[in-house]
């Protein structure tokens, strides 16, 4: 892996809650991104947002939020237009 990431950590992203492979900061980001992706279930829970604020700088928090808005937007466009997966 070119940037020093391990295959194990990448393969276990779906199970990030059950493993100790991620730092507290990474776990805060993963929790926030998951909550934002599942926003149709309600709002981002306060404890998740507060933990993200505690772990990230303001610039990092904005970057995570804007990245998730962009990715979720692409996903919704793809779902709406029934774009074929190659």
pLDDT 10s digits, 43-53: 999 999 999 99
Structural domain of 42: 23-81
Cβ–Cβ under 8 Å, residues 76 and 49: no
Q: What is the pLDDT of residues 61-78, one digit of tens each?
A: 999 999 999 999 999 999
Q: Is residue 41, in this structure, part of any structural domain at all?
A: yes
Residue 56 lies in a domain: yes
Cβ partners under 8 Å of residue 13, min gap 6:
30
- Residue range 9-53, pLDDT digits in tens: 999 999 999 999 999 999 999 999 999 999 988 999 999 999 999
- Predicted structure pTM score: 0.88
- Residue 74 forms part of a structural domain: yes
Total count of domains within the chain: 1
pLDDT-derived band at 4 (thresholds 50, 70, 90) equals confident
How high is the pLDDT of residue 27?
A: 98
Q: Does residue 14 lie in a domain region?
A: no
């Amino acid at each position: 892996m070119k940037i020093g990431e391990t295959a194990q950590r990448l393969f276990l992203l779906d199970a990030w809650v059950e493993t100790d492979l991620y730092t507290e900061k990474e776990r805060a980001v993963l929790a926030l991104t998951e909550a934002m992706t599942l926003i149709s279930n309600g709002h981002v829970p306060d404890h998740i947002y507060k933990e993200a604020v505690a772990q990230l700088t303001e610039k990092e928090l904005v970057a995570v939020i804007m990245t998730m808005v962009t990715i979720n937007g692409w996903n919704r466009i793809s779902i709406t237009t029934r774009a074929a997966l190659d």
